[in-house]
């Protein structure tokens, strides 16, 4: 790839003042961006789907690692900056102007793409829940490498019994391996957000048989929606749930945060059956 100007110059030249409404906190440190781009493993010749490339810092790191990147950006002010990057790495970057929430990413990124993104916080959780949902498994993506607020990242990888264990932990772990890959200090961003961030890495594994993802989502939403309540209270509105607890020998006086991921899976399977 031919030499590109520093990201600060790109931001200045294209007038990319950070928009709060679009969740814009840019990363400019090339070494840090290279470290994030290494989280999914070697990317030479791999396809990558990036949400929100902004001025293109992470995109540069991905392209330099040899990936073929499809990126979706909502802010059209960023497009000329991304065009420069595209010209510097012919054939390696396709940029689509649009809203990642409204796009069929399996269609545009293709089966087997790695998803790598410094997500806009306002849409991050919605995209994450969508990527982890659905009954098609393995999914279209090969891995997810995603920047979240550290508190959200900790919820994703949390284990039962911890205060951060909840719906996101079960959705991320019942048919994927989820790990916290690195923490990123708030001062690494321009402008710095109020809180610390962290990158999570998710790889799909075999899905347990006979479980509907929609059922599991309903159960975790109900159970953790009233996490201080006993299961017999929080699950009583879900048809078949209390019977499933009894059948499985799960004490209905327990609270959601004490149930392992496998126990949620077993409840969903019993209800599906
Ligand atoms: N990837 C860049 C980086 O690491 O410096 C920018 C990350 S910034 C946290 C989030 C980016 O997502 C911004 O460029 C913002 O314009 C873009 N964005 C916000 N909402 C979006 C949406 N719904 N669809 C696509 N991109 C979006």
The two tokens of residue 143 are 């891995």
Q: Which of 52, 57, 126 has most ligand 1 atoms within 8 Å of CB, for mutation? A: 52
CATH 1.10.8.100 positions along the chain are 213-272
Domain 7-204 has CATH 3.40.1260.10: no
CA of 260 to the centre of ligand 1 (A): 34
CA of 129 to the centre of ligand 1 (A): 18
pLDDT of residue 1 exceeding 80 = no
pLDDT of residue 2 exceeding 80 = no
CATH annotation of 213-272: 1.10.8.100
Q: What is the mean pLDDT of the chain?
A: 96
CATH 3.40.50.150 positions along the chain are 7-204
Span 194-212, mean pLDDT?
Answer: 96
User: Could you tell me if the CB of 24 is within 6 A of ligand 1?
Assistant: yes
> Whole-prediction pTM value?
0.96
Span 4-19, mean pLDDT?
Answer: 94
Ligand 1: residue whose CA is nearest its atom 5: 26
User: Could you tell me if the CB of 123 is within 6 A of ligand 1?
Assistant: yes
Give the nearest ligand 1 atom to 27 CA: 5
pLDDT tens per residue, range 33-54: 999 999 999 999 999 999 999 9
CA of 205 to the centre of ligand 1 (A): 28
pLDDT tens per residue, range 46-102: 999 999 999 999 999 999 999 999 999 999 999 999 999 999 999 999 999 999 999
User: Could you tell me if the CB of 124 is within 6 A of ligand 1?
Assistant: no
User: Could you tell me if the CB of 120 is within 6 A of ligand 1?
Assistant: yes
């Amino acid at each position: 790839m031919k030499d590109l100007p520093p990201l600060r110059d790109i931001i200045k030249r294209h007038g990319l003042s950070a928009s709060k409404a679009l969740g814009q906190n840019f990363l400019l440190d090339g070494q840090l961006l290279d470290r994030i781009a290494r989280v999914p493993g070697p990317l030479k010749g791999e396809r990558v789907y990036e949400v929100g490339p902004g001025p293109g810092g992470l995109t540069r790191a991905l392209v330099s690692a040899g990936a073929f990147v499809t990126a979706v950006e909502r802010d059209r002010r960023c497009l000329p900056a991304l065009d420069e990057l595209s010209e510097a790495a012919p054939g390696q970057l396709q940029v689509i102007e649009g809203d990642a929430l409204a796009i069929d990413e399996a269609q545009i990124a293709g089966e087997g793409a790695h998803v790598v993104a410094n997500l806009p916080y306002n849409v991050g959780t919605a995209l994450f829940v969508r990527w982890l949902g659905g009954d098609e498994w393995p999914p279209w993506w090969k891995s997810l490498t995603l920047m979240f607020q550290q508190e959200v990242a900790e919820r994703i990888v949390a284990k039962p019994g911890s205060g951060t264990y909840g719906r996101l932990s079960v959705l991320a772990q019942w048919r994927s391996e989820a790990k916290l890959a690195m923490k990123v200090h708030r001062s690494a961003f321009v402008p710095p957000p109020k809180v610390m961030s962290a990158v999570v890495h998710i790889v799909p594994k075999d899905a347990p048989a006979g479980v509907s993802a929609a059922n599991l989502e309903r159960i975790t939403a109900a159970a953790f929606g009233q996490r201080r309540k006993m299961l017999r209270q929080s699950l009583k509105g879900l048809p078949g749930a209390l019977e499933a607890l009894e059948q499985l020998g799960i004490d209905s006086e327990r609270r959601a945060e004490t149930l392992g991921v496998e126990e949620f899976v077993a409840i969903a399977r019993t209800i599906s059956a």
